[in-house]
Amino acid sequence: MESWRRSPKTFLALGLPPTAWLLLFFLIPIGIVWAFSFGEKVGIVDIDITGTFANYDRAFEAVYLQIMVKSLIMAGLTTLVCIAVGFPVAFLITFAPARWKPWLLLLIILPFWTNLLIRTYAMIAVLRTNNGFLNMGLEAIWDAADAVTGLFGLAALGAFQPWDILYSDAAVLIGMVYVFLPFAVLPLYSTLERLDTNFLEASLDLGAGHLKTFFSIVVPLAGPGIASAVIITFIPALGSFLQPDLLGGTDSQLIANVIERQFLSANDWPFGGALSFLLMYITFIAIAARAFLTRPNERRGSLPA
Amino acid sequence: MSDDAIVRIEGVTKTFAGNVTVVDRVDLRVGRGEFFALLGPSGCGKTTLLRMIAGFELPTDGRIVIDGEDMSTTPPNQRPINMVFQSYAVFPHMTVAKNVAYGLKVEGVAEAEIGPRVEEVLNLVKLKGYGARLPNQLSGGQRQRVALARALVKRPKVLLLDEPLSALDAKLREAMQLELVRLQHAVGITFIIVTHDQKEALSMADRIAVMESGKIRQLDTPERLYEYPSNRFVADFIGKMNLFEGKVVTREGARLLVDVTGLGRISVPHEDDIAVSIGVAVRPEKISLYRARPADSAITLQGIVTNLAYLGESLQIFLETESGNQLIISQTNVSRSGSGAPRKGENLWCSWQAADTLLLQD
């Protein structure tokens, strides 16, 4: 960076447009919302910024606190499943033959090429009770099992009862995992890719099996990558509103749905602003926790994410 | 030695990606308790051979027998062999003691036994009191000792070392060479070391296999390799060598009469049969320099000093003969006075004994 400072013209030419963009379209709007969160509604569109904390007080009412806690739990579960599923996937891609790797990675990022709304709608087609792909698959298995038990003269299993999974918290969770899984796989992959395979060979050489090596060597050394994957999954998961909206039931709404409602149907921008900022503070805490967990002192041998 | 071999490599071949043969029908026996070196330039297949002994690569063909058991396809975690990696591969998230204990834990050694064994081996590699440190609090040399301790604590039948000293600075490397020999004597385990550094191999190993293009070119003791290289590659790879082209004229009992380009006819003691076209070689330090023509009947040449290289303990003199041959002559720095040292442009005589002349085929 030293050399950049010596040519301030280049520095300005490159730095000014993005800075102006961020200032104009990110910092100023977010500042306005922050100011609104200390305001009061005085008309349909008019807001008086009075410096009141009433909006924050209201955010801590039991009904909103419950939704906040539920949002944290849902985001946490999503993250957990994404890491549990994403780690083996990233590990397999890392050790796949070199000519397969680009294609496997392409498969991971392929969902990004489709609009999120359409992908979420597609999940409805998968999960719905009548003619959903999940239930059709389950029915086929059920029928096959029924035929087998019939073959052995056992009692029939009875008619197939479709699983009413759509419009429930479970459906929301499935939808969120589906959407955020690539976010978990990519940082895990980039960490595992740079892992010195000598560590794995040394572990095998010392007599450990593959499972032992995976849990004693690979997982700890991938720590910073796991932390990145957790953050990068957890933060957007905490703010997801499309999945609860489309896949959830009436009681499946999360904090982002409440915020959306304040800005749109309820037209209560001060309260929406306060909720938004509370959500953002939680995100800050998560990022700080990551920085703390991956601080580069004692773990120099493990890889940055 | 046949029954004494702890590692027997029989016709081992390794072919990568369909058609690149990295190790080509290698036969090798490593004796119990031997300090054995695989020496060769990079890409000669020595590391691949070592990795096949460790079990990280499977031979395309041939057998690897360890202590009488065919282990060609045995996975690395089931071989009685441990390895010190070039990068050391000391687990960065474990303390020194945990690194060393790792192999014992997975082996299922009783907890009560692990502590003393770790302690003992840390003493052996002179890391007493370092057990609680993390690897990033250690120097490169200390990390290597951890890698050594971690492998030795398993009491393997064979210890493999892949370029163990290449990451150390020159002074430390020399100290570690002595240290490794001391360790090997102390534990009595067979060591197989891979190195591209001939000095390292010569100073440490009991026997050395010199490899080139996947094949062993010569397998011998350090002294025999240096004094009696069996082919041009080994002669050139180990130490410095003056090489002439020659043709065998006739045999005279235990000697051969050879016509050497730019040297004339010389008579060299050589018992074995040899091809007609040969290389005639002599080590730089076997050659003596004179201001006047020496009287004895040794091989004698005249030339002009074209260059001098002062190496501290020795002086290298580059001589060009009338016939255009280039010679390197090495003079040991015996006395500080250094009077009479050759000067550039000086016309000198050089000579060496017929017995110090080597005849090399292929």
Residue B250 sits in the same domain as residue B330: yes
pLDDT of residue B293: 87
Q: Which two tokens stand for residue A148?
A: 């087998």
pLDDT of residue B167: 83
Spatial distance between the Cα atoms of A102 and A96, rounded to a whole number of angstroms: 10
pLDDT digits (tens, 9 = 90+) for A240-256: 999 999 999 888 899 99
Amino acid at B58: L
By Cβ distance, the residue of B54, B106, B150 closest to A212 is B106
By Cβ distance, the residue of B55, B85, B93 closest to A221 is B93
pLDDT of residue A87: 95
DSSP per-residue codes, B1-21: -GGGEEEEEEEEEEEETTTEE
CATH code of residue B269: 2.40.50.140
B16, B52, B94, B102: best mutation site toward chain A, by most A Cβ within 10 Å? B102
Is the pLDDT at B168 greater than 50? The verdict is: yes
pLDDT of residue B338: 63
Rounded to the nearest 5 degrees, what angle is found at the Cα of B100, between the Cα atoms of B94 and B103? 100
Averaged pLDDT for residues B83-97: 95
Cβ contact, residue pair B102, A208, below 8 Å: yes
Residue B265 sits in the same domain as residue B249: yes
Spatial distance between the Cα atoms of A241 and B125, rounded to a whole number of angstroms: 60
Residue A284 included in any domain: yes
DSSP assignment letter at A249: -
Estimate the share of chain A in helix, then strand, then coil, as percent rounded to the nearest 5: 70, 0, 25
Residues 236-295 in B contacting A (C-alpha not used; CB under 8 Å): none
**What burial class does residue A35 get, using C-beta atoms within 10 Å of its C-beta: 0-12 exposed, 13-18 middle, 19+ buried?**
middle
Residues of chain A contacting residue B106, judged by C-beta atoms under 8 Å apart:
206-209, 212
User: Are A290 and A228 contacting, i.e. CB atoms less than 8 angstroms apart?
Assistant: yes
Cβ contact, residue pair B103, A302, below 8 Å: no
Helix (H, G, I), strand (E, B) or coil at A221: helix
CATH code of residue A262: 1.10.3720.10
Cβ contact, residue pair B106, A301, below 8 Å: no
Is the pLDDT at A157 greater than 80? The verdict is: no
Residues of chain A contacting residue B75, judged by C-beta atoms under 8 Å apart:
204
Helix (H, G, I), strand (E, B) or coil at B71: coil
Kindly list the distances between the CA atom of residue B142 and the CA atoms of B98, B210, B232, in Å, as whole numbers in the listed order: 15, 30, 39
Residue B147 sits in the same domain as residue B186: yes
Rounded to the nearest 5 degrees, what angle is found at the Cα of B25, between the Cα atoms of B20 and B29? 135
Residues 217-276 in A contacting B (C-alpha not used; CB under 8 Å): 217, 220-221, 223
Is the CB of residue B91 less than 8 Å away from at least one CB of chain A? yes
Averaged pLDDT for residues B13-42: 93
Cβ contact, residue pair B91, A298, below 8 Å: no
Cβ contact, residue pair B92, A301, below 8 Å: yes
Quote the minimal CA–CA distance from B164 to chain A in Å: 14
Quote the minimal CA–CA distance from A78 to chain B in Å: 28
Residue B99 sits in the same domain as residue B15: yes
Q: Of B199, B233, B267, which residue sits at a domain end?
A: B233
Residue A239 included in any domain: yes
Rounded to the nearest 5 degrees, what angle is found at the Cα of B49, between the Cα atoms of B46 and B53? 140
Is the pLDDT at A287 greater than 90? The verdict is: no
Indicate the number of domains in chain A. 1
The whole domain housing A200 covers: 62-129+164-293
pLDDT of residue A300: 46
Residue B88 sits in the same domain as residue B214: yes
By Cβ distance, the residue of B76, B91, B107 closest to A205 is B76
pLDDT-derived band at A303 (thresholds 50, 70, 90) equals very low
Is the pLDDT at A302 greater than 70? The verdict is: no
Spatial distance between the Cα atoms of B54 and A161, rounded to a whole number of angstroms: 56
Cβ contact, residue pair A212, B87, below 8 Å: no
pLDDT of residue B294: 86
Q: Which of A272, A235, A240, A237 is nearest to A253 (CA)?
A: A240
Q: Give the other-Cβ count within 10 Å of A193's Cβ.
A: 14
Indicate the number of domains in chain B. 2
pLDDT digits (tens, 9 = 90+) for B278-325: 899 999 999 999 888 888 767 888 999 999 999 988 999 999 988 888
Kindly list the distances between the CA atom of residue B191 and the CA atoms of A29, A46, B58, B166, B186, in Å, as whole numbers in the listed order: 69, 84, 21, 17, 12
Quote the minimal CA–CA distance from A228 to chain B in Å: 18
Averaged pLDDT for residues B77-82: 96
Arithmetic mean of pLDDT over chain B? 92
Residue B208 sits in the same domain as residue B323: no
The whole domain housing B199 covers: 2-233
Residue A274 included in any domain: yes
By Cβ distance, the residue of A205, A221, A300 closest to B82 is A205
Residue in the block written with tokens 């150390």 = B168
B58, B71, B106: best mutation site toward chain A, by most A Cβ within 10 Å? B106
Cβ contact, residue pair B91, A199, below 8 Å: yes
Residue B201 sits in the same domain as residue B329: no
Helical segments of B153-231, H only? 170-187, 198-204, 222-227
pLDDT-derived band at A2 (thresholds 50, 70, 90) equals low
Amino acid at B95: T
pLDDT of residue A9: 85
Residue B329 sits in the same domain as residue B248: yes
Residue A41 included in any domain: no
Residue B307 sits in the same domain as residue B277: yes
pLDDT-derived band at A1 (thresholds 50, 70, 90) equals low
Residue B310 sits in the same domain as residue B195: no
Cβ contact, residue pair B89, A220, below 8 Å: no
Spatial distance between the Cα atoms of B155 and A68, rounded to a whole number of angstroms: 57
Is the CB of residue A198 less than 8 Å away from at least one CB of chain B? yes
Is the CB of residue A97 less than 8 Å away from at least one CB of chain B? no
Residue % of chain B over a pLDDT of 70: 98
Averaged pLDDT for residues B132-138: 95
Residues 9-28 in A contacting B (C-alpha not used; CB under 8 Å): none
pLDDT of residue A301: 46
**How do B69-70 and A39-41 pair as beta strands?**
unpaired
Residue B270 sits in the same domain as residue B351: yes
Q: Which residues pair with B10 in a beta bridge?
A: B63
Residues of chain B contacting residue A216, judged by C-beta atoms under 8 Å apart:
102
Q: Which of A218-222, B61-65, B267-271, B355-359 has the lowest mean pLDDT?
A: B267-271
pLDDT of residue B307: 94
Arithmetic mean of pLDDT over chain A? 89
Q: Which of A170-174, A260-264, A291-295, B224-228 has the lowest mean pLDDT?
A: A291-295
- Interface confidence (ipTM) of the complex: 0.86
Residue A44 included in any domain: no
Residue A7 included in any domain: no
* CB pairs < 8 Å spanning A and B: 76
Q: Which two tokens stand for residue A52?
A: 């009141």
Spatial distance between the Cα atoms of B196 and B241, rounded to a whole number of angstroms: 18
By Cβ distance, the residue of A212, A220, A301 closest to B136 is A301
Spatial distance between the Cα atoms of A242 and A119, rounded to a whole number of angstroms: 10
pLDDT of residue A123: 93
Quote the minimal CA–CA distance from B94 to chain A in Å: 10
Residue B222 sits in the same domain as residue B311: no
Residue A237 included in any domain: yes
CATH code of residue B152: 3.40.50.300
pLDDT-derived band at B170 (thresholds 50, 70, 90) equals confident
Spatial distance between the Cα atoms of B38 and B192, rounded to a whole number of angstroms: 7
Residues of chain A contacting residue B90, judged by C-beta atoms under 8 Å apart:
301
Residues 163-192 in A contacting B (C-alpha not used; CB under 8 Å): none
A95, A201, A205: best mutation site toward chain B, by most B Cβ within 10 Å? A205
Is the pLDDT at B198 greater than 60? The verdict is: yes
Is the CB of residue B87 less than 8 Å away from at least one CB of chain A? yes
